[in-house]
Amino acid sequence: MASMFKGDNQDIASRIDRILISKEWDESFNNIKQIALQRLGSDHTPIALLGGVWNQNKNYFKFENWWLDTVGFTNRIKEWWDTFSGRPNFILASKLKALKEKLKVWSRSDQVNLGAKRMNLLKELAVFDEVSKGRALTDDEVTRKNSRLLEFEELLKYEEISWR
């Protein structure tokens, strides 16, 4: 184990995060790979152990409950919903089909896409980590890093809601 103090803010860096497996275990499970994930608020690096082969299934439409917390979402739905006229059975079927397509496009936008937001936040936080390895972060950098961490916590909340 190696650890050291860095900078004025007393951050600790530690190199104890590892995965150990036996030869037998490695032979029993195919395509094993370890990935170091972004560390957030800790000196430990989360590690993902991946294995196997996964087939991609066709994407299906899924309404995400966290969308309801997104600013302006209900206004968009109302706007999209009010664009049809005609016979009642045609209107309902058309509205549902169009709404599904609009929601798919909207959910893939960078503003709403949790995966894209997660990647952008993790990249920004990684920059702060790299800077803090060489020097202590300035007050402005610490404020920005804390702001990004709060955004990341909000994003994790939305991801948890989407798993339910």
Domain shared by 24 and 37, yes or no: yes
Domain shared by 12 and 52, yes or no: yes
Domain shared by 33 and 47, yes or no: yes
Amino acid code (one letter) for 147: S
Domain shared by 40 and 77, yes or no: no
Supply the range of the domain harboring residue 143.
Answer: 3-56+113-163
pLDDT higher than threshold 80 for residue 19: no
Domain shared by 101 and 118, yes or no: no
**Residues 140-152: tens digit of each pLDDT:** 999 999 999 998 8
Residue 95, pLDDT score = 84
Domain shared by 18 and 34, yes or no: yes
Domain shared by 9 and 48, yes or no: yes
Q: How many domains does the chain contain in total?
A: 2
**Residues 4-15: tens digit of each pLDDT:** 445 455 555 555
